[in-house]
């Protein structure tokens, strides 16, 4: 099990009409990362945020911008998100066609590189890049929308990846995204996750609730 857990609220569940204020509020409430879900209407059936929004939000926090790119092709847009102020850039193993090249591109821009797996993709899809990435993101829902139910079968994938990561002599975060609430948080932490993305559970109830929401996800 990982020693300390980081909470990465997804601004997908924030009030889009007040995104700057929402980022400030979730930062003040104790978020470790600000998770930004980028969707293109092609790789996933929804369209959300582009690099212009990331750039506009950058002055609102010094916390890590954890940018999850659910887009294909992805390579042509990595530079724009890096320039906009992303700290971690996570791409999907399924976005193709050359995962290793995409990760080299991210690292070459001086950013932390993450790789994400959809629920239907086995852990083996990241094995060859394990020594090269800073973060692995296990999707515990099919990407595209907030508010979906956690897919239990992903716990075994998390355990497998935790086993592999623990054989490395460097830090690789293991992040889980989708359907995370106080109950599923505890299950994924036990399985070995050390970064939890939460949209609905973090932003529910408005700014006055954010600190308590985050506290419940941490489990203490
Ligand atoms: C889904 C996104 C998630 C999502 C999580 O495609 O990547 O980050 O916003 O939302 P909840 O926590 O509501 O499942
Ligand atoms: Zn995400």
- Known catalytic membership, residue 32: no
Q: What is the per-residue pLDDT for 219?
A: 86
Question: Would the pLDDT of 180 be above 80?
Answer: yes
Question: Across the chain, what does the average pLDDT equal?
Answer: 97
Tell me if 46 sits within 8 A of 39, measured CB to CB: yes
Q: Residues 178, 197: contact at Cβ < 8 Å?
A: yes
| Percentage of the chain lying above the pLDDT 70 cut | 98
| Mean pLDDT score, 169-193 | 97
Tokens read off for 174 = 């293991």
- Among candidate residues 32, 134, 177, 194, the one labeled active-site is 177
Task: Please compute the mean of the pLDDT values over residues 195-199 and round it to a whole number.
Answer: 98
Is the pTM higher than 0.85?
Answer: yes
The confidence score (pLDDT) of residue 2 equals 45
What secondary structure letter does DSSP report for 36?
E
Q: What is the pLDDT of residue 13?
A: 98
Q: Are 40 and 70 in contact (CB under 8 A)?
A: yes
pLDDT value at residue 3? 52
- For the Cβ of 38 lying below 6 angstroms from any atom of ligand 1, the answer is no
184-193 mean pLDDT: 98
User: If you measure from the C-alpha of residue 90 to the centroid of ligand 2, how many angstroms do you get, rounded to a whole number?
Assistant: 9
pLDDT above 50: residue 15: yes
Ligand nearest to the CA of 68: 2
> Does the beta carbon of 68 sit less than 6 angstroms from any atom of ligand 1?
yes
DSSP β-bridge partners for residue 195: 6, 175
- The strand pair at 64-70 and 173-177 is best described as unpaired
Q: How far is the CA of 208 from the centre of ligand 2 (A)?
A: 23
Alpha helix segments (H runs only) across 148-218: 154-165, 182-191, 200-203, 210-218
Q: Can you give the pLDDT at residue 75?
A: 98
Q: How far is the CA of 138 from the centre of ligand 1 (A)?
A: 12
Q: What is the mean pLDDT of residues 100-112?
A: 98
What is the dihedral sign for C-alpha 66, 69, 74, 76? negative
User: What whole-number percentage of the chain has pLDDT above 90?
Assistant: 97
Does the annotation mark 37 as catalytic?
A: yes
Q: How far apart are the first and last CA of the chain?
A: 16
pLDDT digits (tens, 9 = 90+) for 47-87: 999 999 999 999 999 999 999 999 999 999 999 999 999 99
71 contacts 103 by C-beta, under 8 angstroms: no
Ligand nearest the Cα of residue 39 is: 1
């Amino acid at each position: 099990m990982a020693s300390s857990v980081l909470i990465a609220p997804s601004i997908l569940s924030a009030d889009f009409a007040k995104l700057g204020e929402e980022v400030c509020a979730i930062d003040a409430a104790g978020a470790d990362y600000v998770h930004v879900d980028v969707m293109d209407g092609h790789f996933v059936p929804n369209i959300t945020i582009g690099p212009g929004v990331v750039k506009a939000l950058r002055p609102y926090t010094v916390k890590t911008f954890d940018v999850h790119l659910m887009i294909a092709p992805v390579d042509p847009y990595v530079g724009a998100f890096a320039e906009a102020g992303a700290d971690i850039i996570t791409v999907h193993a399924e976005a193709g066609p050359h995962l290793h090249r995409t990760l080299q591109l991210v690292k070459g821009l001086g950013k932390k590189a993450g790789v994400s797996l959809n629920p239907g993709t086995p852990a083996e899809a990241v094995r060859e890049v394990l020594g090269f990435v800073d973060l692995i993101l296990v999707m515990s829902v099919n990407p595209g929308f907030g508010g979906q139910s956690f897919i239990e079968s992903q716990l075994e994938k998390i355990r497998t990846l935790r086993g592999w990561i623990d054989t490395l002599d460097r830090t690789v975060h293991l992040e889980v995204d989708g359907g995370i609430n106080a109950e599923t948080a505890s299950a994924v932490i036990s399985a070995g996750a050390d970064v939890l993305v939460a949209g609905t559970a973090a932003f529910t109830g408005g700014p006055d609730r954010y600190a308590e929401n985050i506290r419940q996800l941490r489990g203490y």
